[in-house]
Structure 1
Amino acid sequence: MATERVASWAVNLTYSSLPPEVVQAAVQSFYNWVGCAIGGATHPATTTALDALSPFFGKSTSTLLGNKATRQADASHAALLNGIASHVHDYDDTHLATIIHPTGPVASALLAQSEAVGGVKGDEFLTALVAGIEAECKLGLGVWPDHYDVGWHITSTVGSIGAAVAVGKLLRLQTTPMQHAISIAATQVTGLRDMFGSDTKSFHVGRAAQNGLLAAVLASKGYTGSLQAIEAKRGWSNVVSTVNTVDKQLSTLGSVWEIAANAFKPYPCGIVVHPVIDGSIQLHREIAPAGKNVKDIKSVVARVHPLVLELTGKKTPQDGLQAKFSVYHGGAIGLVLGKAGPAQYTDEVVLNSEIISIRDKITAIADEKLGADETEITVVFADGSELKKHIVHAVGSVQVPMTTAQLEEKFLDQASLVLGTEGAQTASKLAWGIQTSRAVETLVKDI
């Protein structure tokens, strides 16, 4: 049965059984998550939530990454707030087969509880992280794509289960209590796609982390739920989707590692926009050598996978959050500015007249023959001349992964805006050290 299978597998998973590439992927996933959480710590969505919820904080045990004023909160609120911060820029990792952002819910819960417990070693932490990510991604594959298409935000709907499995692993739950933890998490289904472009999208990730942590802690004290929460007729998989291949997906637990296919974003926006940004940045570099000017652009046509328009078809975004779901803004900043980092997704840039002018000249056309990470862009200038770019696989895809140097550049680019250059460099070094850490709470106390 699915619930028991996930629980038993996670309970029996050992660090020594993890292939080297899985450990490496886990370290990279944690490192990338830390950078994103620091980068999002000062975003209004994070600070507003902190301001609203701080009166309800309990005993301070767990770090709020990147927060200089309020260094700690209780584990539950730390999981929520770090989860919000890690996702608010849409810069976190992506399991491309399901568009799940797997590390946010799991690491946010796991780090908070690790600090509350104390003395958790790096190898223990990484094993629990892998257990949680594998559980959420396998379950996500089991209900994909129907679950997502109908309107659920799959990152959070499976994220609470992944977080529960990870924290349950940390708390050394045995199989039956782990089943209860999964059950308690599964009943807390969180996340509607209609929230994309608002503060609540990042809340989904934080809430999933918080829900999963709560589920595991309750189960550790004997709280119960259905032992068939995933597979029952009125259980999670059959309620949230009309498509259910969960058993098939779970059959590859421990042999096909989903975390090994985890991808990292070079741009802080919906991942389906990345091919257009990648191509637009490359075209930006070719415009001047070709004797042209951005102001001479008459029109731009981008042929894209149909999912691009479904997810990121906002033609006239009004702020930075909405722009993350605008293929038109992504193309405009690539062509005009030649880069697409957090600084290019501020409200000020979104409302800049030059960006708006180019954005209005972009037409996106759905083409089912193109891959999800592919695009064909044609820029037409006032004199009738053209520049074209075909991106077969965007940077950040499985085929063109970000390098370690690019991951570090991304980390420092985000973190320096919050911690300053020296603080960002320190945080980067500490985050890379998770694998050999003797106590996770010591690792993160200076981040």
Structure 2
Amino acid sequence: MATQKLADWSTALTFASLPREVIDAATQSFYNWAGCTVGGSTHPATTIARTALARFTGAPTSRLLGSGGVDLDAMHAALLNGIASHVHDYDDTHLDTIIHPTGPVASALLAMAESLDRSVSGHEFILALVVGVEAECKVGLAVWPNHYDVGWHITSSTGSIGAAVAVSKLLNLSAQQTAHAIGLAATQVTGLREMFGSHTKSFHPGRAAQNGLLAAILASEGYTSSTQALEAKRGWANVVSSEHHLDEQMATLPPDGRWEMARNSFKPFPCGIVVHPVIDGSIFLHGQLGPNGIQIEEIREVEVIVHPLVLELTGKTAPKDGLEAKFSVYHGAAVGLLFGKVTPAQYEDAVVTDERVIWLRDRIRATVDENLRPDEAVVIIRVPNGGEGDDDSVTEIHVDHAVGSRERPMSVAQLTDKFVDQCISVLGRERTEQASKWCWELEKQVDVRQIKTVL
């Protein structure tokens, strides 16, 4: 009865039952999503899709963020904002499942909210966002890690379910209608890990948003599905994973159970999260080179000691472009050492193919230590002493917990800097500051549809 239990729970949840930490986490998640979406709005993955689909769009109701005032129909706005939100791999991460939860849910939810002929308060929007994120993370936990290991992109394969639950909440659907929406979303499974490093990776959360939105809209008009879509023998969980724990996860639904929204985290660097400890350490060592009298050109070798998952997910030694570089621990270490910062600019194609970056990337050696945690790494720089023999001078750093981890979460100031860095080149400084203030005050908004005035 997992499907119906999830539907019953989501329809019954009220804003008053949300703890302050969950409201704050939802606001931060939306804020981070908005910045990532604006920042990704000019990426080729977004603009190509927009151009290709332009002749198929319907009546404009919903804002394409970062477009300079362009509205699309809700279905295409959900798709394109979902693509934009994920294309820099800079969006939020639920660390227990590595789901990027807000992209599919917020992209669908905002598109639907803007299409309505009534106001949507900040409280109403946040509540719908929370139930959507909780839904996708709970079903993700139920099939993690087998589902991901076999090759599914868990952000999109669960994201359509989260988006459907969120939009169903916004539309005030009944528990029965919500159960049908969950089934309609579950049958639209999207996302293969094989696509990582290409435009299609960001297509996944966009399509999940679109699929979830479609599911809720169909259910709102009486469209039916199996009301055992998640748990049945040939339902979602048994098809996408050889084992699952749906009943156990449904038993942890809040407020009595654990809030997954409160366990969401934010990326300081626009790449696979397992690379973050190496980048964190490389940036630190960048600041140590000068004081220690070391020039980049003198480096003989850089060794990075990492958790085994790092090489499985980000082992590309010679990425050919920015999208591939996001899955290269070698590139992350190289740009951290060279530039002392790692933002989307360090993943531009021109940087990835820069001779100096390639030279340093080729001197990086990655080794695995199974005793390290995923948010832990050691970075070692070796420079010849210049005397006889093979002795090197060594500069190293042990990153116990990377920035962005639960132990070292990004601060409000850091999230704001990240938002501004992504938006300023698209919106300009004045509008970026207005947008930042508006998004931070999401809870106070009388009508979320007014986001069009700033984004």
TM-score by length of 1: 0.99
Give the structure 1 partner of residue 219 of structure 2: 219
Equivalent residue, structure 2, for 1:433: 441
Give how far 1:444 is off. 3.4
Shift of 1:71: 1.1
Provide Cα deviations, 1:12-46, integer angstroms capped at 9, x if missing partner. Answer: 01000000000000000000000000000000000
Q: CA deviation at 1:243?
A: 1.7
Structure 2 Cα separation of the partners of residues 309 and 98 of structure 1: 18
The answer to whether residue 19 in structure 2 is matched with residue 19 in structure 1 is: yes
**2:400 paired residue among 392, 410, 413:** 392
* Aligned-residue RMSD, C-alpha: 0.7
8 Å contact kept, 1:152–1:193: yes
Map of 2:91 onto structure 1: 92
Amino acid at match of 2:213: L
Q: Provide Cα deviations, 1:223-248, integer angstroms capped at 9, x if missing partner.
A: 00001000000000010001201111
Deviations 1:242-286 (A, max 9, x none): 120111111111120001010000001111100000000000000
Q: Does residue 318 in structure 1 map to residue 320 in structure 2? A: yes
Q: Secondary structure at the match of 2:436?
A: helix
Matching of residues 90-129 of structure 1 within 5 Å: 90-117=89-116, 118-129=118-129
Deviation string 1:145-177 (CA, Å, 9 cap, x unpaired) is: 000000000000000000000000001011111
Distance 1:446 1:164 in 2: 27
Matched residue, 1:260: 262
Q: CA deviation at 1:443?
A: 2.6
For 2:442 and 2:217, how far apart are their aligned partners in 1? 24
Q: Deviations over 1:304-363 (max 9, x none)?
A: 111111111110001111111100000000011111001111001001111111100111
Tell me the percent identity: 61
> Which amino acid in 2 is paired with 1:190?
T
Q: Which residue of 2 aligns with 1:359?
A: 361
TM-score (normalised: structure 2): 0.97
2:340 corresponds in structure 1 to: 338
Question: 1-side partners of 2:101 and 2:383: how far apart?
Answer: 42
Pairing partner for 1:294 from 293, 296, 306: 296
- Which residue in the other structure is 1:185 paired with? 185
Contact in 2 for aligned 1:277/1:330 (Cα 8 Å)? yes
3-state SS of the aligned residue for 1:385? strand
Shift of the alpha carbon at 1:446? 2.4
> Equivalent residue for 1:147?
147
Q: 1:194-231 CA deviation, whole Å, 9 max, x = no partner?
A: 00000000000100000000000000000000010000
State the one-letter code of the partner of 1:158.
Answer: T
Pairing 1:413–2:415 present: no
Per the alignment, residue 377 of structure 1 pairs with: 379
CA distance in 2, matches of 1:210, 1:172: 19
Residue type of the alignment partner of 1:409: D
Match of 2:247 in 1: 247
Structure 1, gaps ≥5 residues long: none
AA matched with 2:29: S
In structure 2, which of residues 430, 434, 455 is the aligned counterpart of residue 422 of structure 1?
Answer: 430
Residue type at the aligned position of 1:88 = V
Q: Distance in 1 between matches of 2:44 and 2:309?
A: 29
Gaps of 5+ in 2: 386-391
Q: 1 CA distance for matches of 2:434 and 2:309?
A: 39
1:78: Cα distance to partner? 0.2
Q: Is the 8 A contact 1:37 1:66 kept in 2?
A: yes
Deviation at 1:294, TM superposition (A): 1.1
Alpha-carbon distance, 1:74 to partner: 0.2
Question: Contact 1:437–1:443 at 8 Å: present in 2 too?
Answer: no
